[in-house]
């Protein structure tokens, strides 16, 4: 359940949380203004636009594959920034859709997109989108033109899952199929095998400055029959991820941010860097992770290619198996097969203690001691 501060606004209850000061934000803004809008590269602060974009080639979105998703695997594509298209158990959903050229008020202020978007909402071959999860209301995660385009294409049949106090924002746009959630709250997605769960994150919300922390923020776990996907949203590292791993892990596919962590004195409370992202991957017991929230917008606080380079180093230092946690190409479509035996054993292990207690109760009722050790999930 979310927590309110003494001021009546949502807050982060962990000791790792430290709110920004106006001076810190001014310093961060000034540092960004010293470089080209499209970013720069490691060892080349004066890189041209062509040199930067050459490091991030966009893969053509495989619409044929998306049109026929596998029944025995998660299928996912990183569209850019925090936007992913995910297919699980016959449903297709998006995370934090951002297709615009700028992230800011009226699409005229704020950071610009450096790497083009591989997804066209109006493409007739784009599969039906069943629902969308929104982590919080910052402009690069809740984009008016992107929301309007999706609503125009799919209408009120498209369901939006959002943190508390965000439904009113959608209602102002005429969108009513919105489900607000609190931390740890879960709801079944209609006419599907999926359950949508809002998970805690260490971040905050604001669109206009004065509305700071008026609405909640978080990540989302989408749980299917055999597999589950976890979208971290925007977050700094905090103790809740170990708790998340205990309650919802193991996670078959995690979508974890790795960028916009500079300067650490300002960004650490709200954005995790690559090494912290690897720790989160381990905390939530992820079988596979895709890096998000990097390599798309020019305002990343550091060289555009640094996060993925540091991710490789952090993954190697943690001795993760190769490609367990990786940075992928914009638009690439990947599959993550289920392992039915592993999933079955995991599910049985989860309920093993409950079964043992039930058997003990029945044994006592009938005056016979049954041996629960004969009933194992292994």
Q: State the Cα–Cα distance between residues 129 and 118, nearest whole angstrom.
A: 16
**Binning pLDDT at 50, 70 and 90, where does residue 360 land?**
low
Q: What is the pLDDT of residue 225?
A: 96
Q: Looking at residue 3, what DSSP letter applies? A: E
Q: What is the pLDDT of residue 346?
A: 45
CA distances from 245 to 10, 72, 218 (A): 23, 23, 15
- Assess whether pLDDT exceeds 80 at residue 27: no
**Binning pLDDT at 50, 70 and 90, where does residue 230 land?**
very high
Q: Which range among 23-37, 109-123, 304-318 shows the weakest confidence by mean pLDDT? A: 23-37
Q: How confident is the prediction for the chain on average, in pLDDT?
A: 89
- DSSP letters, 61-101, are P-HHHHHS--TTEEEEEEEETTEEEEEETTEEEEES---SS
Q: What is the pLDDT of residue 294?
A: 97
- Assess whether pLDDT exceeds 80 at residue 204: yes
pLDDT digits (tens, 9 = 90+) for 259-284: 999 888 888 899 999 999 999 999 99
**Binning pLDDT at 50, 70 and 90, where does residue 33 land?**
low
- Assess whether pLDDT exceeds 80 at residue 80: yes
pLDDT digits (tens, 9 = 90+) for 39-66: 999 999 999 999 999 999 999 999 999 9
pLDDT digits (tens, 9 = 90+) for 285-307: 999 999 999 999 987 778 999 99
pLDDT digits (tens, 9 = 90+) for 112-160: 999 999 999 999 999 999 999 999 999 999 999 999 999 999 999 999 9
**Binning pLDDT at 50, 70 and 90, where does residue 19 land?**
confident
**Binning pLDDT at 50, 70 and 90, where does residue 249 land?**
very high
pTM of the shown model: 0.88
CA 137 to chain centre: 14
- Which sequence spans correspond to the domains of the chain? 34-338, 343-374
Nearest to 114 by CA among 299, 329, 305: 299
CATH architecture of structural domain 34-338: 4-Layer Sandwich (3.60)
Q: What is the pLDDT of residue 108?
A: 75
CA distances from 265 to 19, 147, 194, 269 (A): 11, 33, 39, 8
Q: What percent of the chain has pLDDT over 70?
A: 88
Using the Cα atoms of residue 360, residue 363, residue 369 and residue 371 in order, give the sign of their dihedral. Answer: negative
Q: What is the pLDDT of residue 358?
A: 57
Q: State the Cα–Cα distance between residues 199 and 184, nearest whole angstrom.
A: 5
């Amino acid at each position: 359940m979310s927590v309110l501060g003494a001021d009546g606004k949502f807050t982060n209850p962990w000791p790792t949380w430290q709110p920004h000061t106006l001076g810190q934000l001014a310093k961060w803004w000034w540092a960004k203004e010293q470089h080209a809008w499209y970013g720069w590269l490691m060892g080349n602060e004066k890189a041209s636009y062509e040199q930067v974009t050459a490091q991030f080639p966009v893969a053509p979105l495989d619409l044929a594959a998306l049109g026929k998703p596998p029944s025995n695997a998660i299928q996912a594509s990183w569209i850019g920034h925090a936007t992913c298209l995910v297919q699980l158990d016959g449903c297709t959903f998006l995370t934090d859709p951002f297709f615009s050229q700028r992230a800011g008020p009226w699409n005229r202020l704020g950071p610009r997109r450096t790497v083009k978007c591989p997804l066209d909402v109006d493409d007739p071959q784009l599969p039906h989108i069943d629902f969308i999860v929104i982590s919080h209301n910052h402009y690069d995660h809740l984009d008016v033109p992107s929301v309007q385009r999706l609503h125009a294409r799919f209408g009120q049949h498209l369901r939006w899952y959002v943190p508390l106090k965000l439904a009113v924002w959608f209602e102002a746009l005429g969108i009513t199929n919105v489900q607000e959630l609190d931390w740890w709250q879960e709801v079944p997605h209609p006419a599907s095998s999926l359950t949508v769960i809002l998970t805690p994150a260490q971040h905050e919300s604001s669109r206009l400055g004065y509305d700071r922390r008026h609405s909640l923020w978080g990540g989302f776990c989408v749980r299917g029959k055999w597999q589950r996907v976890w979208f971290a949203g925007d977050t700094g590292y905090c103790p809740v991820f170990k708790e998340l791993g205990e309650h919802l892990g193991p996670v078959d596919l995690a979508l974890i941010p790795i960028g916009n962590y500079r300067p650490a004195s300002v960004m650490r409370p709200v954005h995790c860097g690559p090494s912290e992202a690897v720790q989160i991957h381990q905390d939530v017991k992820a079988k596979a992770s895709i890096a998000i929230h990097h390599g798309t917008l020019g305002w990343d606080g550091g060289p555009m290619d640094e996060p993925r380079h540091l991710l490789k180093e952090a993954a190697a230092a943690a001795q993760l198996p190769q490609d367990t946690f990786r940075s992928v190409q914009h638009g690439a479509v990947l599959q993550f097969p289920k392992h039915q035996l592993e999933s079955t054993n995991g599910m049985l292990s989860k309920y093993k203690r409950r079964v043992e207690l039930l058997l003990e109760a029945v044994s006592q009722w009938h005056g016979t001691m049954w041996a629960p050790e004969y009933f194992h999930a292994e």
